[in-house]
């Protein structure tokens, strides 16, 4: 069970990083996210 949950968390993290990374700086700014904060935002998405 923990392996499956860890894999799903990793996959969700990677998906979030990839999606935010594809956005332009302007789009990220509109969302209130700095490009340097993408990984932090992705980690926070797992905690929910």
In Å, what is the CA distance from 2 to each residue of 7, 10, 13, 45? 8, 12, 16, 18
- pTM given for the model: 0.86
Task: For helices 38-47 and 2-22, give the axis angle rounded to 10 degrees.
Answer: 140
Q: Is 5 helix (H, G, I), strand (E, B) or coil?
A: helix
Q: Does 47 have pLDDT greater than 90?
A: no
The model's pLDDT over 4-32, given as tens digits with 9 standing for 90+, comes to: 999 999 999 999 999 999 999 999 999 99
Q: Find tokens 């935010």 and name the residue.
A: 20
């Amino acid at each position: 069970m923990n392996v499956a949950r860890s894999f799903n968390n990793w996959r969700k993290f990677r998906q979030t990083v990839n999606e935010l990374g594809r956005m332009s700086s302007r789009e990220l700014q509109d969302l209130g996210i700095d490009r340097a904060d993408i990984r932090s935002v992705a980690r926070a998405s797992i905690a929910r």
